[in-house]
Amino acid sequence: MLVLGLDPGLALSGYALIGGRAGALELVEAGCLRTPAGMAHEQRLAQLAREWRALLGSRQPAAIAVERLFVGRNLRTALPVAEARGVLLCGVAEAALPLHTYGPSEVKQAVSGNGAASKQQVARMVRLLLRGAVVPGPDDVTDACAVAICHHHAAGTRRAIAAQVAR
């Protein structure tokens, strides 16, 4: 199953296409969609939408996984991230792909076994779970990998439960 993990942002949106099965996950592709800081805000959102549609159009993921937005104390950064997330989710809906969302602690728990894991712990476990794959780019790409891995784990658990219930 191919899962496209997404870490939305206005300047950088990390993405990671993860394939395989439990115990044998592989990083198929990963990177960032970027918008220039000097560009008008609405133009950045439009560029992000175009790049996201192009990415979705050239890949065939079975599902999209995204982390729920965490709003801390800094609303000045949370609002542009929320707007970028909305643009990306609209693209998911247009592509008619299944969307799965996970909270930050769910992602950390699924990847590292600790819902309060540090970014470094999550990054180390992402590399281990992807069998030593080099994750290109900034933390946004590693976060996208973690979200995709989380969905792989969750989907596997749901399949196992469904198989037991069907017996």
AA identity, residue 111: V
Is 67 labeled as catalytic in the residue annotation? yes
What kind and span of H or E run contains 100?
Answer: strand 99-102
Is 139 labeled as catalytic in the residue annotation? no
Question: Catalytic: which of 26, 42, 67, 106?
Answer: 67
What 8-state DSSP symbol labels residue 40?
A: -
By DSSP bridging, strand 63-67 and strand 3-7 are: parallel
Cβ atoms within 10 Å, residue 14 = 26
Structure tokens at 128: 């281990």
Dihedral over alpha carbons 100, 27, 49, 102 (to 10 degrees): 20
Question: Catalytic: which of 94, 106, 140, 143?
Answer: 140
Binning the chain into helix, strand and coil, the percentages to the nearest 5 are 50, 20, 30
Is 7 labeled as catalytic in the residue annotation? yes
131 torsion bin: left (phi>0), alpha (psi -120 to 50), beta (else)? left
- Residue-level length of the chain: 167
Question: Catalytic: which of 7, 29, 42, 83?
Answer: 7
**Active site positions, annotated:** 7, 67, 140
